[in-house]
A and B are shown apart, each in its own frame.
Chain A
Amino acid sequence: AQTVTQSQPEMSVQEAETVTLSCTYDTSESDYYLFWYKQPPSRQMILVIRQEAYKQQNATENRFSVNFQKAAKSFSLKISDSQLGDAAMYFCASVNYGGSQGNLIFGKGTKLSVKP
């Protein structure tokens, strides 16, 4: 069975600094997708970044980047130049290539606080 583990329940970062959120996963499949979703307080969850397992190049979206280590089954999210609006719950998720899109396996989440 697929599992996703986020070992940091809470993290804090100073505005304008960099923070890294950790995620490890376990799957027996060789092809899968990994995601980071952001859930701001009382607002919709939105996709931050997506990584396809067969791509060795780490995905990047503006201030957000990932460090994807396939052999170690690690998928960390780096947020550079942190902003107050980055404060949210961050969820790591995975889905196997042969799976259905809607059936994501989520980690328990990391609550990120941004200090001004």
Chain B
Amino acid sequence: KAGVTQTPRYLIKTRGQQVTLSCSPISGHRSVSWYQQTPGQGLQFLFEYFSETQRNKGNFPGRFSGRQFSNSRSEMNVSTLELGDSALYLCASSLITGPGGELFFGEGSRLTVL
């Protein structure tokens, strides 16, 4: 069974640009969550989607947005990039919707903003 796939794995952008990251969950998983990982702030929750609906959103500015498609694939977008957006962006999928279930993570998309 294929794991969570994130693309691209690495990317470099300049300030002011925008970026779109993609996540394909494990087949059958309908819940997808996104996290930002930085050395200073650690892992911070961005948003969670289930059946194309955003269920939760973390404390990030409106420049961060996401969506989920009918096949459960998800994308996140960051507009007007800032230097502080440089981070590893992790996507995780899960089979069940209630708390306590295991999250399956992708390898992440490492974004560098110059």
Contact = CB atoms under 8 A, between A and B. Distances in A.
B83 interface: no
Interface in A46-101: 46-47, 50, 52, 91, 95-101
B102 A47 contact: yes
A44 B98 contact: no
Contacts of A91: 42-43
A42 interface: yes
A79 B42 CA distance: 23
A101 B98 contact: yes
B62 interface: no
A44 B105 CA distance: 6
Contacts of A32: 99
A41 to B, nearest CB: 11
B101 interface: yes
Interface residues of B, number: 29
B18 interface: no
A11 interface: no
Given A101-B99, A102-B32, A42 B107 contact: yes
Contacts of B106: 44
Interface string B35-56: 1000000111100100000011
A15 B94 CA distance: 33
A31 B32 CA distance: 23
Given A44-B3, A50-B100, A101 B94 contact: yes
Interface of A: 32-33, 37, 42-47, 50, 52, 91, 95-109
24 contacts: A37-B103, A43-B107, A44-B107, A45-B92, A45-B105, A47-B102, A50-B100, A50-B102, A91-B42, A91-B43, A96-B99, A97-B99, A100-B99, A101-B97, A101-B98, A101-B99, A101-B100, A102-B33, A102-B48, A103-B56, A104-B43, A105-B45, A106-B35, A106-B44
3 cross-chain pairs, A with B, having the tightest CB-CB distances, nearest first: A102-B33, A102-B48, A106-B43
